[in-house]
Amino acid sequence: MAFADLLEQVGSTGRFQILHVMLLCTPVLMMASHNLLQNFVAMVPPHHCSTHSNMSQTQLSPEEILQITVPLNEAGKPQSCQRYVAPQWHLLAKNGSSSTERDYGVVLEGCVDGWSYNMTDMTSTIISDWHLVCDLRSLKQMGQTIYMGGVLVGALVFGGLSDRYGRRILLLISNLLMAVSGTCAAFSPSFSLFCLFRFGCGMALSGLGLNTFSLIVEWIPTRVRTFTGTATGYCYTVGQMLLPAAAYFITDWRWLTLTVSLPFYVFFLIAWWFHESSRWLAINNKTEQAVKMLKSVARFNGRHKEGEKINVKMLQESMKKELSCSQGTHSALDLFRTPKMRIMTFCLSATWLSTSFAYYGLAMDLQKFGVNIYLIQVIFGAVDIPAKVVITVCMSFIGRRPSQCGALVLAGVTILINILVPYDKQTVRTCLAVVGKGCLAASFSCCYLYSGELYPTIIRQSGMGWVSMMARVGAMVAPMVQLTGDYIPWLPGLIYGGAPILSGFAAVFLPETLGTHLPDTIQDVEDRKKGPAVTCDHWLNFLPCPFKVEMHR
């Protein structure tokens, strides 16, 4: 492709690209904190009904008051949502137990005087502040669903706007929206306003993810796309491990929310330095600005003379085909207009939806594993490191398509095996869940790179916005599926495991992109063959130079 030659001329892996990628990756650290924030700000503490108001006048200890006020559940712990209508004084007698309740005609009632919480891990959460327990416990899942709804809307809005108005301006808007919405969420006086501002955070997260990835991939050459895409994914991984560390020391949900939001004011200021994608500028008939960006990069990379050789005429001649094919307006309908685009979009939609669906089904309900929530969050984050190393090697050597299929099928099989493990084997169940989560993280890493390589430049953001929207649909549905476990315990696991396996087979119909140039137009996609074979020359590219020479000899 012509633009790749121009990029090499100004320096495709110089100082500009290194600084550019590093600054773009920094906000990704905090994106993970916002995405998984619900695990800590909505942590459900142990709770039970508050005792009767007149019990404070007695000389009984708190334990004795609790004993005669709140019945025990099957596990021998105070019930969360019921208490005795009247104190059961007979339970204080020696050998007194709840088994005598039937003899005294005990009547139970709801928590009419509120709840008492055991705030061991957090000093306050949205659950304890707004009493989202018992009859209101479903509001916790609603909060996460609303946030993911914001991510979905953001994918639709920012994807299309970015293709029309550019990556840089939408990145600026997204950073500011995240900072303001996160700050407002931290000071929300009610659950309704909290959900509203979290919706804004979700929209901003989509804008940040889409435009960050596009600005990265459109300023680097083909040969380092895999490495750079994986490095960006590792920033998200590190962010997953930073969140529990922050939550461990900041135990108030308001201060924790504010802590992960304030850095985006700084990121907003940094984003003014970013260069708009010259590839996007050229495709959208802004050739003078494209040349200006290329010359600026050349100066930054110490290639002033090479940059001065580039002019508007050279850019137009070298990208004549791309410019002619990009005339006219484009919309999300172009994702389905031609045969190959249609098949590609359907397969990618299934891949993204199932990956996100199963991922958030595992990652957003950490308390069910019975392990310290800070520890399990670190483990869930740390597993991404080996997972992404493996997927990077696989994508570089065996290709994107088999890597995507394998990660999805293996994740699904692991989740299905977990159904057969007895519930009291928490360690085994946790280990299997960690492996499954690692496979899904690897699938996500492959999804981002693979989709960016499959969609052409003129509608890349629309395409990424569409598949991101499908991912958020999966994330929104995931909490609802957990509710089916109240009726059929094994059904959530069957659904979470079956979806990735089915989409893994759908990914077989995607074309291979290993070693190919980025397509600029829809016609490039239609002209693309199913996928290049992995030749001996390709394997030689991963060997040090002395070995290459010997092999060629």
Task: State pLDDT tens for residues 367-416.
Answer: 676 677 888 888 888 888 898 889 888 888 888 899 999 999 999 999 99
Q: What is the pLDDT of residues 38-83, one digit of tens each?
A: 888 888 888 788 877 666 667 677 777 777 788 887 767 788 788 8
Mean pLDDT to the nearest integer, 457-482: 82
Instruction: Say if CB 179 and CB 74 are below 8 A apart.
Output: no
Residue 357 pLDDT greater than 60, yes or no? yes
Q: What is the mean pLDDT of the chain?
A: 80
Phi first, then psi: what are they for 408, rounded to 5°? -70, -45
Structural domains present in the chain: 1-39+154-328 (1.20.1250.20), 334-530 (1.20.1250.20)
What crossing angle do the helices spanning 400-420 and 491-506 adopt, rounded to 10°?
Answer: 160
Residue 332 pLDDT greater than 70, yes or no? no
The residue with tokens 């290993």 is 514
- CA dist., res. 10 & res. 21, Å (int): 16
- CA dist., res. 87 & res. 369, Å (int): 35
Higher-pLDDT residue of 86 and 553 is 86
Percent of the chain with pLDDT over 90: 18
**Residue 119 CB coordination number (10 Å):** 15
Mean pLDDT to the nearest integer, 260-277: 89
What crossing angle do the helices spanning 400-420 and 384-397 adopt, rounded to 10°?
Answer: 140
Per-residue pLDDT at 533: 43
Instruction: Say if CB 198 and CB 147 are below 8 A apart.
Output: yes
Per-residue pLDDT at 261: 93
Structure tokens at 375: 């520890």
Cβ burial of 486 (10 Å; 0-12, 13-18, 19+) is exposed
3-state secondary structure 334-396: HHHHCHHHHHHHHHHHHHHHHHHHHHHHHHCCHHHHCCCHHHHHHHHHHCHHHHHHHHHHHHH
Per-residue pLDDT at 1: 44
Residue 351 pLDDT greater than 90, yes or no? yes
From 473, 458, 257, 453, select the one nearest 355 (Cα to Cα).
473
Per-residue pLDDT at 549: 35
Of the candidate ranges 225-234, 354-363, 499-508, the one whose mean pLDDT is the lowest: 225-234
Structure tokens at 221: 């050459």
Per-residue pLDDT at 319: 67
CA atoms within 13 A on the CB side of 267: 29
Q: Identify the band that residue 543 occupies on the pLDDT scale cut at 50, 70 and 90.
A: very low
Residue 19 pLDDT greater than 80, yes or no? yes
Per-residue pLDDT at 257: 93
* E strands present in 398-552: none
Q: Identify the band that residue 255 occupies on the pLDDT scale cut at 50, 70 and 90.
A: very high
Higher-pLDDT residue of 11 and 258 is 258
Q: Identify the band that residue 550 occupies on the pLDDT scale cut at 50, 70 and 90.
A: very low
